[in-house]
Amino acid sequence: MVNIPFEIQDASDEDHQLIWNVAKEKRQYVQVGPSKYFYPKEYEDLGPICYNFKIRPDDVFVVNYPRSGSTWLSEMIWLINNNLDYATAKSIDVGCRFPLMDVSVVKLPKLEKERIKSLAEEERSKQVSKYFSTLFDEYSNITTRRFFKTHLPLSLLPPDLLDKAKVVYIARDPRDVFVSVYHLLKNRIYDDKPDEIWNLFRRGLLPWCPVFPHVKEGWAARDNPNLLFIFYEDVVNDLQGSLRRMASFFGKDLTDEQIHELCEHLRFDNIKKNEAVNQQETMAELGVCSGQSPFIRKGLIGDWRDHFSKDQAQEAEEWMRENIADSELKYSTF
């Protein structure tokens, strides 16, 4: 197994204390490489497994920072590449058709086993267990085309990924990303302290942080013919155009009627009602979300304005300007 070409360091005592002041569980964390990507200490064991995963030429990956639209995107990409098979899409969770390969990086193995065991009598237990699978040999044994999403940055994924696979990177306004992250984590992982959680996010002390280096890696690869870089806001504002662009990237030709039908399937209010996509029951069983904090919430552009104080809005603007000053990366919302 090839080692990750970056140093893995324990987070400082000061950073741990900032997290523990809000977190419901005292976990140990590490920071990876010069960007200081932030993960629970389990990454030391699981990170190299992800980095050494064997890529196939027909693999499809969605890469993004969490809460940037990857579930919605996974549904549209899977359908485009599977002859618009709505029957299968509605009968099997998108998380099983398009698994998050690095989910165990932020899950406690003991908790995973307990939850899977508790669901052993359920018909859906095999599907549910996929969410917490660290058995990458399961993925290796798949004989059909494989679809994965991941929240790891490109630098921590297999080095031959862009040489072999098709990759779609989706980015979203970090302020809206934070609001979505906050609603998912509050009361379950962290106390409901928005100011403190915002401070952790801004300082890069939440799992998969920091957000800007993550997005910049995707942006830097935007000219690679095997990578399609898109903004969440563009997909929301022009779904038809985004679907045509996506179909072209995968070498598919969709008729106007098929585009219209796919748009209707992907409308946000329809997605929220579609259990195979919103996965609310599954995610609640796994402890990922609750009725108060649904897995798929609003999907709005600019929702941060209803959550940030005037001072936070100014702080966020300065934070964004400072972090994209050295890049051609431009958010349409900034």
The pair of three-digit structure tokens given for residue 34, joined into one six-digit string? 């010069």
**Percent of the chain scoring above 90 in pLDDT:** 61
Provide the pLDDT confidence category of residue 136 given band limits of 50, 70 and 90.
low
Question: What residue ranges define each of the domains in the chain, with the CATH number in brackets?
Answer: 54-324 (3.40.50.300)
Cα–Cα distance, 170 to 181 (Å, whole number): 16
> Is the pLDDT reported for residue 145 higher than 50?
yes
Provide the pLDDT confidence category of residue 134 given band limits of 50, 70 and 90.
very low
Q: CA dihedral in degrees (187, 193, 196, 199; nearest 10)?
A: 80
Range in 60-64, 179-183, 224-228, 270-274 with the lowest mean pLDDT? 270-274
**Percent of the chain scoring above 70 in pLDDT:** 81
> Is the pLDDT reported for residue 99 higher than 50?
yes
CB 164 within 8 A of CB 55: yes
- Tokens 């431009």, residue located: 330
Where are any strands of DSSP class E within 133-176?
Answer: 147-150, 166-171
Coil, strand or helix: which one is 17?
helix
Provide the pLDDT confidence category of residue 116 given band limits of 50, 70 and 90.
very low
Establish whether the linkage from the previous residue to 213 is cis, with ω within 30° of 0. Answer: no
Provide the pLDDT confidence category of residue 268 given band limits of 50, 70 and 90.
confident
Strand pairing category for 29-32 and 8-10: antiparallel
CA-based nearest residue to 271, from 124, 75, 79: 75
The number of beta carbons lying within 10 Å of the beta carbon of residue 180 is 22
> Is the pLDDT reported for residue 52 higher than 70?
yes
> Is the pLDDT reported for residue 285 higher than 70?
no
The number of beta carbons lying within 10 Å of the beta carbon of residue 195 is 9
> Is the pLDDT reported for residue 162 higher than 70?
yes
The pair of three-digit structure tokens given for residue 76, joined into one six-digit string? 């549209």
> Is the pLDDT reported for residue 151 higher than 60?
yes
> Is the pLDDT reported for residue 130 higher than 70?
no
How much of the chain is helix, strand and coil, in % rounded to 5?
Answer: 50, 10, 40
Q: Is the dihedral of CA 163, 243, 248, 260 positive or negative?
A: positive
CB 329 within 8 A of CB 221: no
Residue-averaged pLDDT of the chain: 85
Q: What is the pLDDT of residue 277?
A: 57
The pair of three-digit structure tokens given for residue 332, joined into one six-digit string? 């349409």
Cα–Cα distance, 21 to 134 (Å, whole number): 30
Give me the mean pLDDT over the 6-24 stretch. 96
CB 149 within 8 A of CB 62: yes
Task: Give the global pTM.
Answer: 0.87
Q: What is the pLDDT of residue 272?
A: 66
